[in-house]
Structure 1
Amino acid sequence: MTLFSLTNPVFETYVIAAALMVLKVMGQGWMTVYRMMKSNSGLASPEDVQRGILNKSPDPAQLDRNDYVDRSRRMHRNDLENIPAFWVAGLLFVAVNPALWLAQVLMYGFVLARAAHFVAYATKQTHEIRATFYTTGSLIVIYMALHTLWAVLSAA
C-alpha cells in the first residue's frame, strides 16, 4: 500500500474531506452569483453594469453595496483564506502516515467546522459563534502542520 492511494484509508479520508471542501468553495461562488441575480444588485465591477442577456436594465445603483450579496462574498473570501491551508496541511499530514482515527477526527472535524461556520455566517449569528467555528478549523490545520513537522524532524 502506498500512502497516496485509495487503498490507504487515511488518504481516502483526505480525498473525501478535500473534495467536500472543493464543493464548498465552488458552491459559495455560485451562491454569490445567485444572490446578485436574485437581488439585481451588489455587482462588483463597473463593466457589470452593461446591457446584456442577464442585465436587461443596467443601473449604476447595481454597483452599490448589498449586504445580502456581500455576506456571501465575505463567506467566500473566508473560505479562500482557510480551505487552501487545509488542502496543503492535510496532504502533508497524510505523508507522515498518522493513525486513521486521528486523521478522521481532524479532517472530518475541519469539514464540520467549516459547515458550521457557513451556517453561522448565513444566519447572521454573532461574531463569537462564527469565531468558535473558525478557531476550531484553524486549530485543526495548525495541529496537522505541527504534527507533520514533528514527525519529519523526529525521523531525521
Structure 2
Amino acid sequence: MDLLNLENPVFVTYAIAAALGVLKVMAQGWMTVYRMMKVRTGFASPEDLQPGPLNRAPSPEQLEINDYVDRSRRMHRNDLENIPAFWIAGLLFVLTAPPLWLAQVLMFGFVLARAAHALAYATKQSHEVRATFYTVGSVIVIVMAAWVLWAVVV
C-alpha cells in the first residue's frame, strides 16, 4: 500500500495535524502584525520607520520593545522552533506504517499540546505551565523520531 495518500488513515491524521500546524504558524505571524499596527510600536527593523500608507507618521519610539507585540513575536518564534520538527518527524513516522491509534494519539496530542502552549503564553501563565505543554509536544516529536530510527535500524 502506498503510505502517502488520502486512503491511508495514518497519512490523513498527519495531513490534518500538519495543516493545523501551518495555520498556527501563519496565523501567529499575522497576529504579530495586527498587534504591531494596533499599538503603532514594537516594529522590528529600522526600515519600518520609512513613511508609507500604513505608517504615515513614523517615529523612533516605534522600534521600542512592546510586550503586547513582542509576546506574539515570541509565540511565533516558539512555533517556528517546534512545529517544523513535527512536520519532519511526523512524515517520517507515517512512512513506518505505525498503528492508527498510536499515530492519532501522538499527532493530535502534539496539536493539542501546541494549542495549550499558545493559550498559556497568550494568557501569561507561569513558565512552569508553558513548559509542561512544551514538554508534552517535545516528547511526542522525540517519540516519533525514535520510532523512525527503531524502524530503520531494526
- Superposed pair shares fold, TM > 0.5: yes
Aligned residue in 2 for 1:64? 64
CA offsets 1:75-97 (integer angstroms, 9 cap, x no match): 00000000000000000000000
Q: Distance in 2 between matches of 1:49 and 1:125?
A: 33
Q: Distance in 2 between matches of 1:149 and 1:45?
A: 42
Aligned residue in 1 for 2:101? 101
Q: Distance in 2 between matches of 1:12 and 1:47?
A: 43
Aligned residue in 2 for 1:145? 145
Q: Does 1:91 align with 2:110?
A: no
The alpha carbon displacement at 1:50 in A equals 1.3
Paired residues, what number?
154
The alpha carbon displacement at 1:152 in A equals 1.3
Q: Distance in 2 between matches of 1:64 and 1:16?
A: 38
Aligned residue in 2 for 1:52? 52
Q: Distance in 2 between matches of 1:140 and 1:105?
A: 9
Q: How does 1:1-156 map to 2 (within 5 A)?
A: 1-154=1-154
Q: What is the TM-score normalised by the length of structure 2?
A: 0.99
CA offsets 1:46-70 (integer angstroms, 9 cap, x no match): 0101111000111100000000000
Q: Distance in 2 between matches of 1:153 and 1:43?
A: 48
- SS of the residue corresponding to residue 7 of structure 1 reads coil
CA offsets 1:115-142 (integer angstroms, 9 cap, x no match): 0000000000000000000000000000
Q: What is the TM-score normalised by the length of structure 1?
A: 0.98
The alpha carbon displacement at 1:144 in A equals 0.1
CA offsets 1:3-50 (integer angstroms, 9 cap, x no match): 001000000000000000000000000000000000000000001011
The alpha carbon displacement at 1:109 in A equals 0.2
Q: Distance in 2 between matches of 1:64 and 1:8?
A: 50
Seq. identity, %: 75
In structure 2, runs of 5+ residues without a counterpart are: none
One-letter amino acid matched to 2:14: Y
One-letter amino acid matched to 1:106: L
One-letter amino acid matched to 1:75: M
Q: Distance in 1 between matches of 2:40 and 2:30?
A: 15
In structure 1, runs of 5+ residues without a counterpart are: none
